Structure 1
Amino acid sequence: MNKIREAFQRFMYGRYGSDRLNQAMLIVFLVCAMLDIFVDNVYFSVLLTSWEFLLVILIYFRVFSRNISKRYAENQKYLALENKVRRFFGKTKYIQQQRKDFHIYTCPQCKQKIRIPKGKGKISVRCPKCGAEFVKNS
């Protein structure tokens, strides 16, 4: 068993290996495979099977690639996109949590978002960014 591991390590030396982009593609592959099991439509099944085939080829290509800088750049682009999506949903979740206790208004001049506590009646709001004042109900 130890010889097999050493042989595989020698084979993989100088190759890219796996990263987050490969993991994401593997998850997409597994989802396609599960959908393929439960779908009765022949055309949709053929489409899913072709996607599965392409994903497997692309995953193996990236794992065994010797062009490490190019695979690294691809992974960095994917991570930047993933980070944007995570920030968007995190921000949306935070705003929804804040809406329980606060009204969130946008400054008419600079578009800065401002939190105002609920239940204070009609109040004058001063924007901390640009200094504009406007009246809102809390």
Structure 2
Amino acid sequence: MNWFQNFMMGRHGLDQLGFALMITWFVLAMVGNFTTYLLVILALIPLAFCVFRMFSRNQYRRAKENDAFLKVWRPIPAWFRRVKNRLKGMKTHRYYKCPNCKNTLRVPKGKGKICITCPVCRTEFIKKT
């Protein structure tokens, strides 16, 4: 095991983009097993890129690639968390967008017609809850 640690010294290793490439490879290979073998062959592309990135010694370039990937990836789980939290509170709250700044506001349900003040831009608007 010591020889592997010495071999990997100074190499990039596995990061979030590499992990995503491995998952892509696995999904394409599994789907390809049940449909067409062309997908199995295409699945080798993300696997080869993942292996190349893991053994690369160009740390700066691989870190920039990972940062670009994370810039695209981070909003996706955040969006799912927002939707999950919104669905959790649908029985007790209503959600409105501020007409001025487009910020999402949560107000209690069942209060009738109320004046809503946006905490960001202080715009007041009237909505029925």
TM range (shorter): 0.7 to 0.9
Q: 1:105 to 1:50 in 2, by over 3 A?
A: same
Question: Which deviations, in whole Å up to 9, do the C-alpha atoms of 1:36-83 show, x marking residues without a partner?
Answer: 1111xxxx431x123222122212111111111111111122223221
Q: Which runs of 5+ in 1 are unaligned?
A: none
Look up the match of 2:51: 60
Q: Indicate how the Cα distance of structure 1 residues 100 and 14 shifts in structure 2: closer, same or farther if over 3 A, else same.
A: same
* Equivalent AA in structure 1 for residue 37 of structure 2: S
CA distance, structure 1, for counterparts of residue 19 and residue 83 of structure 2: 26
Within a 5 Å distance, the mapping from 1:1-138 to structure 2 comes to 5-39=1-35, 44-46=36-38, 48-138=39-129
The CA deviation string for residues 89-125 of structure 1, in whole angstroms up to 9 with x for no partner, is 1122222222221111222223232222111112222
Identity %: 37
Paired amino acid for 2:103: Q
Q: Which structure has the larger Rg over C-alpha atoms?
A: 1
2: CA distance between counterparts of 1:130 and 1:7? 60
Letter in 2 for 1:117: P
Q: Secondary structure at the match of 2:125?
A: strand
- Over 3 Å counting, the alpha-carbon distance change for 1:97 and 1:16 in structure 2 is same
TM-score by length of 2: 0.86
**Matched length:** 129
Whole-angstrom distance in 2 between the partners of 1:60 and 1:85? 25
Inter-partner Cα distance in structure 2 for 1:115 and 1:6: 56
Q: TM-score, normalised by structure 1?
A: 0.81
